[in-house]
Amino acid sequence: MHWQTSRYRIALDQARVMGIVNVTPDSFSDGGQFASTRAALAHCEQLIVDGADILDIGGESSRPGMDPVPLEEELARVLPLLREAVTLGVPVSIDTYKP
C-alpha cells in the first residue's frame, strides 16, 4: 500500500514521521522560534536529519483564543519557506484550513 502525491510515492508499510514547522511569531509549541524563513529552513533541514519523512508547514497559530490570520498574511509567512522546502527531497504539506 502507498500514498501517491504529485511528486512522491510514499510507502505505507510502516509509520512515517511528519516534522512540524510553524512559521508564526506566536506559535504555542515553539514560541515563534522559526518565524523567519532562514530559521525555519534550518529547522526543516534538522528535522530531516533527525528522521522526518514529511514536512508540514503552518502559518497560523491554532492556540485557543487566537484571532484568524488573513490569507495574505498566512501566504507571506509560508510561501518563502515552501519555495525552499520543496527542494529538500521530502514531501511537504501546508497546515491550513483555507482553500
Distance, in Å, from the CA atom of 26 to the CA atom of 63, rounded to the nearest integer, reads 9
**Regarding predicted confidence, which is higher, 41 or 24?**
41
What pLDDT does residue 33 have?
67
Decide the pairing of beta strands 2-4 and 92-95: unpaired
What pLDDT does residue 29 have?
65
**Residue 50's domain spans which residues?**
2-95
52-68 pLDDT tens trace: 999 999 999 877 888 89
Number of domains in the chain: 1
What pLDDT does residue 28 have?
59
What pLDDT does residue 34 have?
72
Question: Average model confidence (pLDDT) for the chain?
Answer: 90
67-96 pLDDT tens trace: 899 999 999 999 999 999 999 999 999 999
**Regarding predicted confidence, which is higher, 76 or 34?**
76
Provide CB contacts within 8 A for 66, sequence distance 6+: 26, 60
